[in-house]
Amino acid sequence: MNSTSAIFNGTSRYSADFQQIIDRAVAIASLPMMQMESAKTALDDQAKALESLDARFAAVDSAIRSLGSAAANNSYALLNSDGGAVAASVSTGALAGVYTVEVVEAGSYTSSMSKDGLTAVADPSAESISPASTFMLTVAGETYEIKPSGGTLAALAAAINAETEAGVEATIVNIGGPSAPDYRLSLRSARLGAVSIQLNDGSADLVDTLASGTPASYRVNGQPSTPISTDSRSVTVAPGLTVTLLKAGTANLTVSRNTAGISNALASFAGAYNAAVDEVDLHRGKDAGALKGNSILFTLSQTLREIAGYSTGTDGSASLTSLGLTFDDQGKLSFDATAFSNTAAGDFSGLLSFLGSAPEGGFLQSATSAMDAVAGTTGGIVKAAIGSLQTQIAGQAGRISSEQERIDQIEQGLQERMAAADALIAALERQVGYFTTLFESMRLARESRR
């Protein structure tokens, strides 16, 4: 009960009795509110229990998604013997093996800079090398119209960079030093090799070529005899294997299957799954929690069983058991890393096929779909139940507040009526005292005359 009755301070000898009457009346009037508060407490407990369940199932969902990432992105290990010569990355579709990449020539980019004799620029945000509002940029014979948003060198560089199809990178450099700044427009081709670059303002060419670029060249596993020429440093040398040519040199790239990421993800999945089972079990049995008898427990248990019982019904990696995940008599999962390693060594492609992916099929699609139904951020039954409870809690809080106001009004009315009664009694008590004193004085006077 939220009522905080003030102590009744009357002046008659019946003040304590009046306080007891007020307290009893307020207590009786508060019984409905006490029931409301008890109901709200139960709703609060259910909401907290659901939030805890939501966190556990969110952890299962996260573990499933981590397993998907491990299967998609971490199923390969890459060893690079010379990271200075090439940088390499491996992706889906790569084949295990050793790839030798020889960088014959890393190549270079064509660069140019605004000419001497143009308008000197001390502040690129306020000045430009030409007063023109339209420029023509010619790259490898193709011409692009450039219209800066302002008449400054900075705006000109930004407009050139915005023309992505031109394949030119524009920067601004100061070749005059701090005491006498001389800002110039610097252009560089996005492709390797000799790429002609010119910028014209309608009356004159504005840039000079500083260096003409050269293409990169390389061999893979010693072939071909004439190096492969390319205008990009990023090249695909094998399915799922991409390299960036950095400098002349030879690198041996060893691609192998990496099962550690998947193994760790499966172990994490087992831990998250068991924690979710424990959380559901808290609300069952003799000492069941706040959700005892709630149908959502059955749905959540069914979801867990559906995920753990997934099977393709085919040979090879057909169930979670083949991945080293087994159940005990308590419905808990345990992960055997050795059993998983044996499966991976024997049929890694079959293992990946069983796992599949969330968008395309297999265990991951089935598990992700099941988790979305119960723990999804939108449409999940747990969050929907939490939202429903929060609405009920807010409504119950409003009803309690209204009931408290009613009780306060009852208490105030009683206080006022008891104060009036107490004042009347006090007045009568004073009159009784007066007449008692008067009669006593008269009696004493009569006795004194005898």
Determine the pLDDT at residue 75: 67
pLDDT at position 197 is 97
pLDDT digits (tens, 9 = 90+) for 257-296: 778 888 999 999 999 999 999 999 899 888 888 888 888 8
- Backbone phi, psi, residue 185, to 5°: -85, 125
**Its pTM surpasses 0.75:** no
Cα–Cα distance for residue pair 235/227, rounded to 1 Å: 13
Same domain, 222 and 370: no
CA–CA gap between residue 337 and residue 339 (Å, rounded): 6
Q: Report how far residue 232's alpha carbon sits from residue 242's, in angstroms, rounded to the nearest whole number.
A: 12
Number of domains comprising the chain = 3
Looking at the structure, tell me whether residues 12 and 69 fall in a common domain: yes
* Whether residue 277 is found in the same domain as residue 357: yes
pLDDT score of 189 more than 90: yes
51 and 150 assigned to the same domain: no
Q: Indicate if 99 and 114 belong to the same structural domain.
A: no
Same domain? 70 vs 80 = no
Distance CA 134, CA 155 (A): 12
Q: State whether 246 and 376 are in the same domain.
A: no
Distances 399 to 27, 36, 39, 405, 406 between C-alpha atoms, Å:
18, 8, 11, 10, 11
Residue range(s) defining the domain that contains residue 281: 1-75+258-450
Mean pLDDT over 223-237 rounds to: 96
Q: What is the mean pLDDT of residues 358-365?
A: 89
